[in-house]
Chains A and B, each alone.
Chain A
């Protein structure tokens, strides 16, 4: 043992282990791959120690201790599965289930419910309770969240979240004893921009999101790890979908970016995928055309054009798509690439440091790193001037904005190009009069990577299964176009395009889709690319 104790030696289930000092038994055990049951413990919240399901036996106490708040110490001996520990936890489970309804068949938490899991490992298979169960309220706590009071185990995770993370304090526990349940103060519903997180952290099915209620069963859904495209922060999300339709979005832990939380815009803002004004079919001069005709028409319009070309990219495009645009522009003799964006949103900060960015574009930094730092400013100004002067023969516009709120000045200028090809997510004035209108994939339907505001490159993944896409993505169309122009041998995957990007752009060297993994990587020179991002032209 060293004088300054950099590790603590203690005994876990008869085995001597070493852990960094200051950890609780539960945290330290987790580092040794032992998960101790818990309800009220949450790594992002303060320790409450009220559920008692984490009981373990200690050599320093005649009674079992709660491992979520007891800290490890030199010489401590912990038994997690001794008779005393098991009996204590089994009894806690029996108490928890006394008033718990047998709701699992209709409970939207079933399948990911912690109470179900612990009941399986610690619960008796029948109840000795013969009285009537208490009935607690089922009601709306806010516009998006309801509580099924009977299922609440009063762990206070949700209450602590509203106190500690958002600082809004809408939730509280009312009543006492077996009637206690979570509620809001009269006339003060839970309405804050992070409110949806209480649904994620509720260990049981007490807090249910109105948008997901009765929508699907957990085990039927396909889960895709991706990144939120709601703002330039790039929170990690898990998209849960059924038959290619997004059913709900939940937060995915990434200590470097969003910890365990996401904002409600990111959580609920997938509905634009099915918006009525979504462009789903290609059209030429307003007439619908089939996908193959659209492909050949795109190829012809670009290859037969000998004049000046302008390309307007949007910061919703992935780094891979931007790289292909770069390739295209270097193939064409006279071409400028500029970027445009939508109006800024409102930034919002919370006491724990969570900040929703005002920049609503997930890949503004990517545009800066790949297309150029002045793509939004000087180049954009130049392109607009050329458009207004009627100098641009062919303009290719990318408009993958879920909520287009574009400036008028661009709309007018765009109309002045002699030939215009538009990739658009939703229909709008920029699509009107386009010579060729092509549907654009939404951020949740893209395969690739985004560079966030802090220079962290993260993978986005499509929720649509391979071969099920209703139309070719921009990644496929741009590669087909480059093949047509004699630039590329054949189509490759987004990882293949990324490898090409890594070899041609300095900031991305040493990276590949596999190095990004689940939580992304900070690019060494990414920060500087982000640093001096000019405003919109």
Chain B
């Protein structure tokens, strides 16, 4: 049966008195609770701020910060230049140019692997896409740079992290 929109309209009007009262309760009660919390903090001894950068907060597990490229047991980059991370990346900030690997047991490796950290949105899609577990987002969050060029992380930099 089709729903008549006017029906619910009239129904609402009938109960409008009680709705108003409930709205007030739903509105004021949390505000009062929050206020109580704030007032309680006024009398706290401990400060809530920390002295950054001398003091640092430990990120929560799974925090997504700066990237790094991992190495295998022989110290070679794990990355096989499959481009899956750059394909998955929603902000198109990974640039890869592949080359033939100089090792017998591997075929392909990246010659260029650049990540533009200014475009990256730290979503972690690259890490999820990688079939070789070669790229990961570390919990490092303080990554200031002095120029835009410095914000483009090269393969060497990513491997050194």
**Residue ranges of A at the interface with B (Cβ–Cβ < 8 Å):** 105-106, 213-215, 217, 219-220
Contacts and interface: CB of A to CB of B under 8 A. Distances in A.
Contacts of B93: none
Given A106-B82, A106-B107, A219-B87, 19 more contacts: A105-B80, A105-B82, A105-B131, A105-B132, A106-B80, A106-B81, A106-B108, A213-B100, A214-B81, A214-B98, A214-B99, A214-B100, A214-B108, A215-B98, A217-B82, A217-B83, A217-B87, A220-B83, A220-B87
Contacts of B82: 105-106, 217
6 contacts: A105-B80, A105-B131, A214-B81, A217-B82, A217-B83, A217-B87
B140 interface: no
Contacts of B132: 105
B31 interface: no
Nearest to A214: B98
B38 to A, nearest CB: 53
A106 B99 CA distance: 11
B132 to A, nearest CB: 7
Contacts of A220: 83, 87
B35 interface: no
A220 B131 CA distance: 18
B36 interface: no
B146 to A, nearest CB: 29
A355 to B, nearest CB: 37
A92 B64 CA distance: 43
B61 to A, nearest CB: 28
Interface of B: 80-84, 87, 98-100, 107-108, 131-132
B98 A105 contact: no
Nearest to A217: B83
A433 B75 CA distance: 58
User: Considering residues A213, A217, A219, which has the most beta carbons from chain B within 10 angstroms of its beta carbon?
Assistant: A217
A133 to B, nearest CB: 14
Contacts of A217: 82-83, 87
A217 B82 CA distance: 8
Contacts of A215: 98
A107 to B, nearest CB: 9
4 A-B pairs with least C-beta separation: A105-B82, A214-B98, A106-B108, A217-B83
B87 to A, nearest CB: 7
A220 B132 CA distance: 20
A468 B99 CA distance: 27
A106 B79 CA distance: 10
B12 to A, nearest CB: 51
A526 B132 CA distance: 57
A106 B83 CA distance: 9
Nearest to A215: B98
A220 B96 CA distance: 12
B81 to A, nearest CB: 7
Contacts of B98: 214-215
Contacts of A213: 100
Contacts of B83: 217, 220
A219 B82 CA distance: 12
A105 B84 contact: yes
A132 to B, nearest CB: 15
B129 to A, nearest CB: 10
Interface centre among B80, B99, B107, B131 (most CB of A within 10 A): B107
A213 B98 CA distance: 9
A105 B133 CA distance: 12
Contacts of A219: 87
A317 to B, nearest CB: 35
Contacts of B131: 105
Listed residue (B83, B100, B131) with the most chain A CB atoms within 10 angstroms of its CB: B83
A105 B87 CA distance: 12
Nearest to B79: A105
A254 B80 CA distance: 37
- Among A105, A217, A220, the one with the most B-chain Cβ atoms within 10 Å of its Cβ is A105
A63 B20 CA distance: 74
A121 to B, nearest CB: 21
B70 to A, nearest CB: 15
Nearest to B111: A214
A267 to B, nearest CB: 21
A429 B84 CA distance: 48
A214 B87 CA distance: 16
A101 B136 CA distance: 26
B110 to A, nearest CB: 10
Nearest to A106: B108
A277 B141 CA distance: 49
A101 B74 CA distance: 22
Contacts of A105: 80, 82, 84, 131-132
A214 B99 CA distance: 6
A214 B111 CA distance: 11
B69 to A, nearest CB: 15
A210 to B, nearest CB: 11
Contacts of B99: 214
Contacts of B84: 105
B26 to A, nearest CB: 49
Contacts of B87: 217, 219-220
B94 to A, nearest CB: 12
A339 B82 CA distance: 49
Contacts of A106: 80-82, 107-108
A331 B98 CA distance: 53
A217 B83 CA distance: 7
B141 to A, nearest CB: 30
A184 B107 CA distance: 23
A219 B100 CA distance: 20
A220 B82 CA distance: 12
A296 to B, nearest CB: 37
Nearest to A219: B87
A238 B84 CA distance: 24
A84 B83 CA distance: 39
